[in-house]
Amino acid sequence: MTSKTDAIVTGTVDVGESSRIVRLLTPEGGRVSAIANGARGASSKLASALEPGTRLSVTLVRGRGELAYLRGVDVISAPRRARADLDRLLLLGYGCEFCAALAPEHHEAEKLHGLLAVFVDRLEVDPAPGDATRQALEAKALTFAGLAPALVRCARCQDPLVDPCVFDPDAGGALHTRCGGGAAFDAASGARLDALRRTPLASSEGIGAASSPWLLADFARWHHYGAPKARSVIESIGRAPRAT
Amino acid sequence: MAEAPPQDPIRRAARQLARFPGIGEKTATRLVYWLLRAPQGTAAEMAEALVALKDGVRECSVCCDLTAVRPNETRCAVCANGSRDTRTIVVVEHPQDVGAFEKSGEFRGLYHVLHGAISPLDGVGPDTLRIRPLLERLRDGHVQELVLATDPDVEGDATALYLARLLAGIPVKVTRLAHGLPVGAEIEYADAASLARALENRRPV
């Protein structure tokens, strides 16, 4: 069966002498993996198209096996500025991994696909993307995956969140300390993350980041949606001093 | 079909060969049957060469390239060659990249092998790369130019950008290989990304 769809490349795995399995996020089929035969060959035109964050129009051929075959590829857009700036590049990798982890396999993921497309575009134009841009992506992606944590109301008593409070993924988000225990959290961070969740990515610039940088990533991990490997790289590079 | 006993030498050999990257079970089995048909001694020669590989190869104490173990010499042939230009170092991801440069015959400087690249999607950060020995080589101020010859993919870009950031405080010229069209290619058939990079990296003639 042959189908044509929009897709964003979220990762690749090399197989055999010159082929590649490409992981795609598609609006109609969610997470899809396809074999791109000869994609690593010196004369292949696919190599540059199958880089993370690249938006494609692809033709997929499905046989009896689990994997589809990538037959036709047209590049819609490819990240340029992100490839020339380390912080953007790391965020690009993280965003691809985070959205792919939350997307269902072979089921509709139109909103997650759209979100990742906007995020990739945002990295091209945002003057200084950082924690707030990433947290906005996380908050929205979790919502689209049906996992919105409580951020401005206590997950237990439902009253508006006031300090002192904590964050407990098991309870569904933020809690008053009188309602339960968890990781350190504050109401201002909750309000900020909620604003990032509700504001379109393109206009979230002035909101600022929450003080708990990886809270939502930890929330996704607690719900078994994996731990993006790019996170450890972002953290290790963030700590690295410059040589003198 | 009856299950073969675990000590079946054909299965055992195929299972070992299938551990090579890019070799599946079918190819491994085909190789085993080829070995069985090959002249007496072929398998032994290959086994001996493989066993000697680990003991006979080490990392160069200067550039981290893989080199044959030699008595009283910890450096590779390139680093030990007194006629090379020691002011320029090409930084590559893998030992096999050194061979590609040497084959071109255009470069007379030295190399540094990182043994990998930063890969955010695989969780590979800078800590696993041979970056510290590179910084050691730059310490005395003799090196004037560092050419970052990482692959033109996301991992190569991340590695080059990281090194450029890390080395910003060191008085050494840091450059990166130009990207663009391969020699002999026809523009009509070039992919959009390569063409865009070629245009970006254009130069006066």
ipTM value, please give it: 0.88
- What is the reported pLDDT for B144? 96
Q: Are residues A137 and A232 in the same domain?
A: yes
CB-CB under 8 Å, A47 with B153: yes
Residue ranges of chain B with pLDDT lower than 70?
1-6
> In the prediction, which pLDDT does B190 show?
82
Interface contact A242, partner B, CB < 8 A: yes
Q: What is the pLDDT of residue A240?
A: 53
Say yes or no: A94 and A63 in one domain. no
Same domain assignment for residues A86 and A181:
yes
For chain A, the average pLDDT equals 90
The CATH homologous superfamily for domain B9-56 is: RecR Domain 1 (1.10.8.420)
One domain for residues A156 and A227: yes
A40-67 confidence digits (pLDDT tens): 876 777 888 999 999 999 999 987 777 8
**pLDDT bucket at A130, cuts 50 / 70 / 90:** confident
- For residues A164 and A149, membership in a common domain is answered with yes
Residue B182 contacts A where some CB pair is shorter than 8 Å:
yes
Q: A190: closest CA among A222, A229, A221, A150? A: A150
Contact B154 A96 (CB under 8 A): no
Question: Is residue B193 less than 8 Å (CB to CB) from chain A?
Answer: yes
A170 shares a domain with A95 = yes
- Same domain assignment for residues A89 and A172: yes
Residues from chain A contacting residue B127 (CB–CB below 8 Å): 236
Q: Is residue A108 part of a domain?
A: no
Q: What confidence score (pLDDT) does residue A149 get? A: 93
Interchain pair B126, A236: CB under 8 A: yes
Residue A236 pLDDT greater than 80, yes or no: yes
Q: What is the pTM of this model?
A: 0.87
Q: Which of B121, B170, B193 sits opposite A243 (nearest CB)?
A: B170
CATH number belonging to domain B66-204: 3.40.1360.10
Of B123, B162, B192, the CB nearest to A75: B192
Residue A174 pLDDT greater than 90, yes or no: yes
* pLDDT score of A242 more than 60: no
Domain ranges (residues) in chain B = 9-56, 66-204
Residues 13-42 of A with CB under 8 A from B: 15-17, 42
More confident residue, A155 or B180: A155
Q: How many domains does the structure of chain A reveal?
A: 2
Distance CA A48, CA A113 (A): 21
Do B193 and A93 count as a contact with CB atoms less than 8 A apart? no
pLDDT of residue A14: 87
What pLDDT does residue B113 have?
A: 98
A51 and A143: one domain?
no
B140 in contact with chain A, both atoms CB, cutoff 8 A? no
| % of chain B residues with pLDDT over 90 | 71
pLDDT band for A244, please (50, 70, 90 cuts): low
Q: Does the pLDDT at position A11 exceed 70?
A: yes
Put simply, whether B127 touches A (Cβ < 8 Å) is: yes
> Nearest-CA distance from B29 to chain A in Å?
16
Which band of pLDDT confidence, cut at 50, 70 and 90, is reported for residue A243?
low
Helix H, strand E, coil C: the string for chain B is CCCCCCCCHHHHHHHHHCCCCCCCHHHHHHHHHHHHHCCCCHHHHHHHHHHHHHHHEEECCCCCCEEECECCECCCHHHHCCCCCCCEEEEECCHHHHHHHHHHCCCCCEEEECCCCCEHHHCECHHHCCCHHHHHHHCCCCCCEEEECCCCCHHHHHHHHHHHHHHHHCCCEEEECCCCCCCCCCHHHCCHHHHHHHHHCCCCC
The answer on A160 and A86 residing in a single domain is yes
Q: Domain for residue A18, yes or no?
A: yes
Chain A to chain B Cβ contacts (< 8 Å): 91
A181-231 per-position pLDDT tens digit: 999 899 999 999 999 999 998 887 788 888 888 999 999 999 888 788 999
> Does the CB of A97 have a partner CB in chain B at under 8 Å?
yes
- pLDDT bin (cut points 50, 70, 90) of residue A21 is very high
- Cβ-defined contact of A90 to B120 (cutoff 8 Å): yes
Indicate yes or no: CB of A244 within 8 angstroms of CB of B124: no
